[in-house]
Amino acid sequence: MKRRLTLSLLALGAAGQAFAGGYQVSVQGQKQIGMGHTGTALAWDASSLFFNPGSLGFLKKSSVVAGASFINSTVAYTGPNGQAYRAETDNPISTPFAAYGAFFLDKNKKLVLAAGAYTPFGSTVKWADGWRGQFLLNELSLRAIFTNATVAYRINDMFSVGAGFNYAFGSVDLKRSVDINTGTATAPQYGQAQLKGNASGIGFNAGIHAQLTEELSVGVSYRSKVDMKVSGGDATIRTSPALLGTTFPASGATTFDATLPLPANTNLGIGYKVNKDLTLAADITLAHWSAYKELRFDFKENFGTGLSSASPRNYKDAFIYRVGANYQASKLIALRGGAYLDQTPVEAGYMTPETPDANRIGLTLGIGITPTENLSIDASLLFINGAKREQTQADINAAGTQTSVLPGTYQQRAFAPGIQVSYAF
């Protein structure tokens, strides 16, 4: 009976059209990464703050956790119709991190106060110099750090609930070439526009964890959308002086406002202890990407396209399906494996050079070492294989995105090793 429930949940996952992509980053806890980034129904440690604040009430001890991943991602582009053109990103390694602490406030271990800082969104894309899409994008760095304070309460042996408040802060830095030549016909020189600013926003999270039997647990959690607002960011331009004072600000610099939505996530998870050593988990996440309608910048002075520039994104909501297993091989060592299908929120014709997104498969491995009862060192390895995705001129014409995307094929692959230390007390 219990097994049938697990299997039907997996079947449900497979039936849905695969996966959340965009600029969401699934590396928020090393134990969970090792298990395909599942964890909505498992109470491992303080990292449940991210996965399901409701699970915190089922922790056995107070704990602190700190870790980071090192994402090495490459995107390649090839021209449409068999063109002999290929370009690749030269992204720096990005290092999303996560740190959590969860502390029981009462001796019955029912009430938990937790705090954390983590990086569920982010993107770093740096295309090769002089690449074909340079008038759209040379380089983008998007960072968001979420800080969170959560309270959880275990109502009884079956239910625990939790809720928290998010304050997110971060930065955006975007560079693109400006299509104004100040060189010659044979040795063109193009200037560059840069938009750089700090952003912040607020949100909340909440969750319920149900321990239905000793073996079976179910969790539901929700993290709200956070609108990251940039106010008074720096817009600077390097171009022909002939255009300063008209098309661009006389001083070459002005300020801009923008809002980037970091979408809400709804998670449903199930955990099942097959035997003393083997735990299985499966999660479904709905990423509410439809909040991302357009990327719009409002400028204080004319900046190329007048006082604003907007390009449509029209993301759609997307699912992520995850499965994972944890096998306690010995008292010292736990081995983990998992996989996820990450559905792209980006529709045909909207694949931009900053997020040339496609459905992705993530495959994970993990190892946990517990040298003492309270100390755990966990490491994971995540492989991401983005599908080859072609965008035709017909897709672009249908979407009306001719000045924000290129026709052609993109493919992304990444691997991310990660490590964390956690301590329970």
Partner 1 sequence: MKKYAINKVLGTAAVLAVAAYTLQGCKPDIEAGTPSAGAADFSNFIAVGNSLTAGFADNGLNYEGQATSYPLILAQAMQATGKGPAQFLQPLFPVGSAGTGGLRLAGITNGLPVLAPVFPDSSQIIERIRTLFPDSITNKYAQVPNGMEIHNLGVPGIRVADIESPVYGVSNNIAFNPFFERMLPDNQGFMSYLSYVAKRRPTFFTNWLGNNDVLGYASAGGTGFLTNMADFTASYGKMLDTLTRGGAKGLIATVPKVTSAPYFTTVPPTPIVLTDPTQVALLNGAYAARNAAIKRFNTLLPDAAKLDTISFRLGPNAPVIAVSVTGPDSVYRRFGGPAGAFRQLRADRGELILLPAQTVLPTGAGTATPLGNQFALTREELDAINARTNEINTYIRAQATSRNLALFDAEAFLDQVKAGQVYFDGTNITAAFVRGGAFSLDGIHPTPRGYALIANEMMKAINAKYGSNLSPVNAANYPALQFPK
Q: Which is nearer to partner 1, 122 or 362 (CB)?
A: 362
Q: Which is nearer to partner 1, 27 or 112 (CB)?
A: 27
Q: Which is nearer to partner 1, 74 or 392 (CB)?
A: 74
Binding residues vs partner 1 (CB under 8 A): 72, 74-76, 78-79, 81-86, 88, 130, 132-136, 177, 179-186, 188, 190, 239-243, 246, 274-278, 325, 327, 335, 337, 339, 363, 365, 383, 385-386, 388, 402-406, 409-415
Nearest-approach distance from CB 61 to partner 1, in angstroms: 27
Nearest-approach distance from CB 121 to partner 1, in angstroms: 22
The answer to whether 217 and 207 are in contact (CB under 8 A) is no
Give CA–CA dist 151/138, Å, rounded: 43
Task: Please give, one letter per residue, the 3-state secondary structure of 136-160.
Answer: CCCEEEEEEEEEEEEEEEECCCCEE
Q: Which is nearer to partner 1, 15 or 84 (CB)?
A: 84
Query: Strands 97-104, 265-273: parallel, antiparallel or unpaired by DSSP?
Result: unpaired
Q: Which is nearer to partner 1, 5 or 365 (CB)?
A: 365
Q: Which is nearer to partner 1, 182 or 290 (CB)?
A: 182
Give CA–CA dist 214/197, Å, rounded: 50
The answer to whether 191 and 247 are in contact (CB under 8 A) is no
Q: Which is nearer to partner 1, 266 or 385 (CB)?
A: 385
The candidate with the shortest Cα–Cα distance to 51, out of 69, 70, 27, is 27
Single-letter amino acid code for the residue at 389: R
Q: Strands, DSSP E only, in 63-136?
A: 63-69, 72-78, 86-88, 97-104, 111-126
The answer to whether 286 and 266 are in contact (CB under 8 A) is yes
Q: Which two tokens stand for residue 117?
A: 């800082």
Q: Which is nearer to partner 1, 172 or 414 (CB)?
A: 414
Q: Which is nearer to partner 1, 74 or 147 (CB)?
A: 74
Nearest-approach distance from CB 398 to partner 1, in angstroms: 14
Question: What 8-state DSSP symbol labels residue 289?
Answer: G
Task: Please give, one letter per residue, the 3-state secondary structure of 25-66.
Answer: CCCCCHHHHHCCCCCCCCCCCCCHHHHCHHHHHHCCCCEEEE
Measured CA to CA in angstroms, residue 178 lies from 151, 236, 302, 310 at distances of: 49, 11, 14, 16
Nearest-approach distance from CB 85 to partner 1, in angstroms: 6
Nearest-approach distance from CB 152 to partner 1, in angstroms: 31
| Cβ-Cβ contacts under 8 Å for 139 (sequence gap 6 or more) | 125, 126, 127, 173, 174, 175
Nearest-approach distance from CB 328 to partner 1, in angstroms: 10
Nearest-approach distance from CB 322 to partner 1, in angstroms: 14
The candidate with the shortest Cα–Cα distance to 361, out of 7, 36, 123, is 36
Q: Which is nearer to partner 1, 84 or 107 (CB)?
A: 84
Nearest-approach distance from CB 371 to partner 1, in angstroms: 23
Question: What 8-state DSSP symbol labels residue 215?
Answer: S
Nearest-approach distance from CB 159 to partner 1, in angstroms: 29
Give CA–CA dist 40/269, Å, rounded: 5
Nearest-approach distance from CB 357 to partner 1, in angstroms: 14
